[in-house]
A and B are shown apart, each in its own frame.
Chain A
Amino acid sequence: SQQGEEDPQALSIQEGENATMNCSYKTSINNLQWYRQNSGRGLVHLILIRSNEREKHSGRLRVTLDTSKKSSSLLITASRAADTASYFCATASSSNTGKLIFGQGTTLQVKP
């Protein structure tokens, strides 16, 4: 079963706008990670945020984590056409099994 639920399922914006994707999960986590998948390709790791962190930045990416609400958000600022892809959140359980459980993903389209 999937741990993460992403919202929205699909998002279409214009180049230059910001894109926000949300992820909710059910169990206690060690960390939460975000991945990008371009069409027909494998997933690429973007950023990892630990359960004791609230916010993390990497370039144009900003991730927040609210463990009390069991939710996370990924913000892509000043989007580009090249950001068009599917974005997945993945959770690592606090039981330290080492495995990641992925959500269903958000499909982002950035129009030039």
Chain B
Amino acid sequence: DAGVIQSPRHEVTEMGQEVTLRCKPISGHDYLFWYRQTMMRGLELLIYFNNNVPIDDSGMPEDRFSAKMPNASFSTLKIQPSEPRDSAVYFCASSLQAGFKDGYTFGSGTRLTVV
């Protein structure tokens, strides 16, 4: 298995532009998580899905952020419009049984820089 695949690896965009981050989870994993990592705030859970359905989006910072999972093999995190404070590394992770019984497999992350 190729693991959790995220794209792009790096994204530099101008303030106000739309940014779309993509994730392909491990086949057969029912749970998908989006995290954001910054020096100041550490790892923050933004949203997670179970069987393609959003379960908890309480970590999504504001309406500028949206996430979708149209099928079991693909998810997107969209920021529109982007702001400099959105600069961070965004991680996608997937899991067979969520945090109940097993660990997460993380992707390599997307480093987003908004200038």
Contacts and interface: CB of A to CB of B under 8 A. Distances in A.
Interface of A: 2, 30-31, 33, 35, 41-45, 48, 88, 90, 92-93, 96-105
Contact of B42 (A30, A92, A102): A102
6 contacts: A88-B43, A90-B99, A96-B100, A97-B56, A98-B55, A99-B48
Interface residues of B, number: 26
Contacts of B43: 43, 88, 102
B19 interface: no
A107 to B, nearest CB: 11
A72 B91 CA distance: 25
Interface string B55-79: 1100000000000000000000000
B103 to A, nearest CB: 3
